[in-house]
Amino acid sequence: MMKTEDWTPEMVAEFKRRRRGRNYLLLAALGGFCLLIYAIALVKLHEYGQMW
Amino acid sequence: MSDTVFANSTELGAEASDWIALLKPRVLTLVVFTGAIGLVIAPVHMNPILAITAILCITVAAGAAGAINMWYDRDIDAIMKRTATRPIPAGRIQPNAALAYGIVLSVFSVLVMWLAANFVAATVLAISIAFYVFVYTIWLKRRTPQNIVIGGAAGAFPPVIGWAAATGSISLLPILLFLIVLVWTPPHFWSLSLYASGDYERAGVPMLPVVKGARHTRWNVFIYTLALVPLTLSPVFFGLAGWVYGVAATALGLGFIYYAWRVLSDSQDARGVSLTKDAPAKLAFRYSILYLFLLFGACALDRLI
C-alpha cells in the first residue's frame, strides 16, 4: 500500500471527493433521523396527548 | 477522470454508495412492499407519519441484517463471482466497520419502531433480524441444503411486522401471509440457484443443486410451488380475503405452476444438467418476484374495495 505522502494530486483529490460523499451521506442520515424523531414526537403529542 | 483511474482503488476509502450497498438495496424492495401491505391491510388506521416510520424501520432493519450478513459471509463472498465486488471483499470497507454499522442500525431501527409503533412490532422486528443473522447466516447457510427453507422465514416477517405496527397484535391473516412468503422462498431461490450453483459450489455453500443435483432441485421447485398455491387461497377459505384476491391468487398460482413445470421439464442431460442454460429457471425466478408483488398487491386491493 502506498504511503499517503506519496499520493499524487489526483489521488488526494479523489480521496477528498470520497470523504466528502461519505460526510454528506452521514449528514443526510443524521438530519433525517432528527426530523423523524421530531415528527414522531409531534404526532404523539397531537394524536395521543402523550410522548410515550 | 478520477472515476476511471481510481475505480478499484481501496486505499482511498469507501464511496458513500458502498455504505448503501452494504444494505443490499435490491433485496429491500420486496421487504418494503410486503411490510407496507401488512400495514395497509390491517383493520386499524395508523397516522401516515408513524406508518412511514414503521416501513422505514422495517427497511433499515432488513438492510442492517444484510450488512451483518455481508460481514459474516465476507470469506465466501470473495470467492463467488456474483459477490466478489461487494464493499467488504473488495477491501473498500473494513469488516469491523460493517459489523458496527449493522449493529447500530439494527438497534436504532428496533428502538424507533418501539417509539413510533409499539412493543409487539419492535419485538417481531428484533426477532426477524436475529433470525436472519443467527439462524440463517451463521447456523444454517453453510450447513444444510435446507438453509433456504427454514432461513426463508427471515424474509417472511415484514407483513407480520407491518400488521403488528398498525394493530399492536398478530392475528391469523398476517400469519398466513408469513407462511405464503415462507413457502414461496424455496422455489424462488432454488430457481436462482439452478443457474448460479457454480458460484455456491466454489464457495462450499451447500445449496440444493450443489448437494442433491439439478434434477432433484427442479422437483423441489415444482413440489413447493404446488404446495404454495393452495396456501395462497387459505385467506379466502378463512373468510379473511374476498373474490378479488381469490381470483388473483388462482390465476397467478396457475402461472407459477406453469413456470415451475417448465423448470421441471427442462431439456437436460443424464446428470440433470440443463441443455438450455437453465432458461426456464431464469424465467421462473423472474416470474416468482412478479408473482409475490401481484399477490400481495391483490390482497391490499381486496381490502380497499
Is residue B4 assigned to a domain? no
Task: Give the nearest partner residue to B47 out of A14, A36, A47, using CB atoms.
Answer: A47
Domain count for chain B: 2
Of A24, A18, A40, give the one whose Cα is nearest residue B11: A18
Domain boundary among B136, B169, B202: B169
Q: A5 in a domain, yes or no? A: no
**Mean pLDDT of successive 10-residue segments in chain B (305 residues)?**
52 89 92 95 93 97 97 94 91 94 97 96 97 95 90 92 96 97 96 87 89 93 97 96 96 98 91 88 96 97 90
**What CATH number is given to the structural domain containing B72?**
1.10.357.140
Domain co-membership, B43 together with B163: yes
Indicate the residue among B169, B190, B225 that finishes a domain. Answer: B169
Q: Do both B120 and B249 map to the same domain?
A: no
Predicted complex ipTM: 0.84
Query: Residue B72, Cβ neighbours under 10 Å: how many?
Result: 21
| Cα nearest neighbour of A13 on chain B | B2
Measured CA distances, B89 to A17, B25, B84, B139, B248 (Å): 22, 18, 6, 21, 42
Residue A51: per-residue pLDDT: 54
Residue A4 is assigned to a structural domain of this protein: no
Q: Is residue B8 part of a domain?
A: no
A35 to chain B nearest CA, in Å?
A: 11
Task: Among B118, B145, B169, identify where a domain stops.
Answer: B169
Cβ count near A46 (within 10 Å): 9
Say what the pLDDT of residue B1 is. 42
Tell me what pLDDT residue B16 has.
93
Same domain, B35 and B117: yes
Q: Do A33 and B49 touch (CB under 8 A)?
A: no
Query: Is residue B160 domain-shared with residue B181, that is, in the same domain?
Result: no
The domain total for chain A is 1
Domain shared by B78 and B196, yes or no: no
Q: Quick one: B175 and B265 in the same domain? A: yes
Residue B249 and residue B239 in one domain? yes
Please check whether residues B176 and B273 belong to one and the same domain: yes
* A21/chain B closest Cα distance in angstroms: 5
The predicted structure's pLDDT at residue B232 = 97
Amino acid (1-letter code) at residue B244? V
pLDDT of amino acid B58: 97
* B183 and B242 part of one domain: yes
Q: Which residue range is the domain that position A51 belongs to?
A: 26-52
Confidence of residue A47 (pLDDT cuts 50, 70, 90): confident
* Predicted pLDDT of residue A7: 86
Per-residue model confidence (pLDDT) at position B6: 57
- Indicate if B19 and B162 belong to the same structural domain: yes
Asked whether residue B274 is domain-assigned, the answer is yes
Residues B147, B86: one domain? Answer: yes
Q: Please, what is the Cα angle at B72 between B68 and B73, to 5 degrees? A: 115
Number of A–B residue contacts, CB under 8 Å: 55
Is there a contact between B217 and B208 (Cβ–Cβ < 8 Å)? Answer: yes
The per-residue pLDDT for A36 is: 96
Q: How confident is the model at residue A52 (pLDDT cuts 50, 70, 90)?
A: low
pLDDT 10s digits, A16-42 = 999 999 999 999 999 999 999 999 999
CB of B41 closer than 8 Å to CB of B163: yes
Cβ distance B2 to A39 less than 8 Å, yes or no, reads: no
HSE-CB at B137 with a 13 A cutoff on CA atoms is 22
- Asked whether residue B175 falls in the same domain as residue B260, the answer is yes
B125 within some domain = yes
Is A11 part of a structural domain of the chain? no
CATH number at residue B286: 1.20.120
Boundaries of domain holding B135? 15-169
